Chain A
């Protein structure tokens, strides 16, 4: 029998869990959840949500369960091409994930169900849209019951969105520290006082945080029937209205208008686009990582070959712009994400195993490292041999651009510091990377001093 492995991220909910077998992902549904599952499927909710792209579709499977004693059914959910986390999303991605969650809850309530959790980690971007991937998040709604997931929703979505909108878009990084969302007292303390004049933020964050503190030692359960369905609908609509009003305009950050500030010619830019397009078409990768993808210009060239392309960039403004393009053009195979390559997403959660590190979510078939090497080798002092190791662990094919010291961008980086990089020359770069890669192609980028390489990992 093929090896069965329980996934370490789905241990909390007794309704079921994920496991993989022969490289295929399955979800075991436990008997305790059978009634709720039947309602999800029979009420029309599943059909409705999957039609709207709000819930991941699945097929019932005849695979043997991973733990037969508790098993009711095994389902095979459609696989998401790349799992991402809320601390890697731009403002609008987190906002769309929040609105998707509320939209799902509204549809569920209409059909007699309710979300029993509202974790940002249950949302993934599938076919360009925020989609719920946890089929077991629904329960049969009991009239009179409050929304169990209210606290989680406020911590995972409302608090970080308010902080990003009113303080700084980089504050979603708090989610990397607080796996169950930003504590509301912390959000309240960091938000400007004027947010107390915003009804939604006043109630759902400030007063909510106060109530949590006040009742922290209290074991009184609310009375049954305390909350009508109408009241619950009002609560969901209030959260929705509050979140819709939160905005962020990307401006004034590092790369926001990088392409406008570079001095290299349009012809060089077009030549690079053409090479990326040609080489991805030739190697036909399934998964491409564009490392330092800015607003996704080259990601789109790679994606045109049909590859699913994750476009990583350190700048939330560039990622925001990239995501807005994805939405506008309804692109299904580009996923923009915020990532600092010099300090990529670590593994977090219980036993450091709930959320995977950046590296563990690879390797990709192909990586693009365009106009990025000087930032890693010079700004961050990473030796070239270590860079070669890093890329060899992440991809089979590497499209990498060497930017020499004579380039104005590198001159700028070296302007205010000592040049301690004698190896940072074309020959040094090639010899360092040749230890881990075979150089298949090397093309001088037209009207520039840069070189674009196509390399294949040796082993």
Chain B
């Protein structure tokens, strides 16, 4: 099944395809980090608090 496009901007076919490929790779990183976090938890290492309210101006 394909999308019924509902976008008001043209996301660009190439941009769509390439981001899916890149993101698949990068998503692995996110997954690994998440499981690494639970492994560390298993050994009693507390995960770092994510600074949710951090300022966007970071430099």
Q: Which residues of A contact B (CB under 8 A)?
A: 12-15, 52, 54, 92, 95-96, 99-100, 103, 116-117, 129-130, 145-152, 154, 203-204, 207-208, 211-216, 218-224, 226-228, 230-235, 237-238, 244, 247, 327
Contact flag A116-B9 (CB < 8 Å), given A146-B19, A230-B30, A235-B26: yes
Tell me the chain B residues, 1-57 only, with Cβ under 8 Å from chain A.
1-3, 5, 7-9, 11-20, 22-31, 53-57
10 contacts between A and B (CB under 8 A): A117-B9, A148-B11, A150-B19, A203-B18, A207-B22, A211-B15, A227-B23, A230-B31, A231-B20, A231-B30
A96–B5 alpha-carbon span in the complex (Å): 31
A220–B13 alpha-carbon span in the complex (Å): 7
User: How many A-B residue pairs lie within 8 Å, measured between CB atoms?
Assistant: 136
Q: Say yes or no: A215 contacts B17, CB within 8 Å.
A: yes
A259–B22 alpha-carbon span in the complex (Å): 48
Q: Say yes or no: A235 contacts B16, CB within 8 Å.
A: no
A221–B5 alpha-carbon span in the complex (Å): 9
Query: Which A residues lie within 8 Å of B11 (CB)?
Result: 146, 148-151
Contact flag A327-B57 (CB < 8 Å), given A116-B9, A117-B9, A148-B7: yes
Query: Which B residues lie within 8 Å of A327 (CB)?
Result: 57
4 additional A-B residue pairs with CB within 8 Å, beyond A146-B16, A222-B20: A96-B56, A130-B56, A146-B20, A207-B18
Q: Say yes or no: B20 contacts A244, CB within 8 Å.
A: no
Query: Which B residues lie within 8 Å of A235 (CB)?
Result: 19, 22-23, 26-27
Select one of B12, B23, B25 contacting A212, CB under 8 A. B12
A239–B34 alpha-carbon span in the complex (Å): 19
Q: A33 → chain B, closest Cβ, in Å?
A: 11
4 closest A-B pairs (Cβ-Cβ)?
A: A234-B26, A231-B27, A212-B14, A151-B15
A222–B8 alpha-carbon span in the complex (Å): 17
Contact flag A100-B56 (CB < 8 Å), given A208-B14, A222-B17: yes
A204–B31 alpha-carbon span in the complex (Å): 21
Q: Which residues of B contact A (CB under 8 A)?
A: 1-3, 5, 7-9, 11-20, 22-31, 53-59
Q: Say yes or no: B2 contacts A234, CB within 8 Å.
A: no
Residue on A nearest B54 in the bound complex, by CB = A103
Query: Which B residues lie within 8 Å of A151 (CB)?
Result: 11-12, 15
Q: B37 → chain A, closest Cβ, in Å?
A: 13
Residue on B nearest A230 in the bound complex, by CB = B27
Q: A325 → chain B, closest Cβ, in Å?
A: 13
A261–B40 alpha-carbon span in the complex (Å): 57
Q: Say yes or no: B8 contacts A215, CB within 8 Å.
A: no
Q: A69 → chain B, closest Cβ, in Å?
A: 19
Q: B21 → chain A, closest Cβ, in Å?
A: 8
Query: Which B residues lie within 8 Å of A203 (CB)?
Result: 18, 22
Contact flag A233-B9 (CB < 8 Å), given A146-B19, A224-B3, A244-B58: no
Query: Which B residues lie within 8 Å of A233 (CB)?
Result: 27, 30
Query: Which B residues lie within 8 Å of A231 (CB)?
Result: 20, 23-24, 26-27, 30
Q: Say yes or no: A222 contacts B15, CB within 8 Å.
A: no
Q: Say yes or no: A234 contacts B29, CB within 8 Å.
A: yes
Q: A207 → chain B, closest Cβ, in Å?
A: 6
Query: Which B residues lie within 8 Å of A219 (CB)?
Result: 13
Contact flag A52-B53 (CB < 8 Å), given A117-B9, A221-B2: yes
Query: Which A residues lie within 8 Å of B15 (CB)?
Result: 150-151, 154, 208, 211-212
A233–B28 alpha-carbon span in the complex (Å): 10
A231–B2 alpha-carbon span in the complex (Å): 19
A293–B8 alpha-carbon span in the complex (Å): 40
A59–B1 alpha-carbon span in the complex (Å): 41
Query: Which A residues lie within 8 Å of B13 (CB)?
Result: 215-216, 218-221
A52–B59 alpha-carbon span in the complex (Å): 17
Residue on A nearest B24 in the bound complex, by CB = A231
Select one of A13, A204, A238 contacting B8, CB under 8 A. A13
Q: Say yes or no: A215 contacts B14, CB within 8 Å.
A: yes
Query: Which B residues lie within 8 Å of A224 (CB)?
Result: 1-3
Q: Say yes or no: A234 contacts B27, CB within 8 Å.
A: yes
Select one of A211, A238, A247 contacting B26, CB under 8 A. A238
Q: Say yes or no: B22 contacts A204, CB within 8 Å.
A: yes
Query: Which A residues lie within 8 Å of B56 (CB)?
Result: 52, 54, 96, 99-100, 103, 129-130
Select one of A145, A152, A213 contacting B9, CB under 8 A. A152
Residue on B nearest A326 in the bound complex, by CB = B57
Contact flag A221-B27 (CB < 8 Å), given A99-B57, A116-B9, A150-B15: no
Q: Say yes or no: A99 contacts B19, CB within 8 Å.
A: no
Residue on A nearest B15 in the bound complex, by CB = A151
Query: Which A residues lie within 8 Å of B55 (CB)?
Result: 129
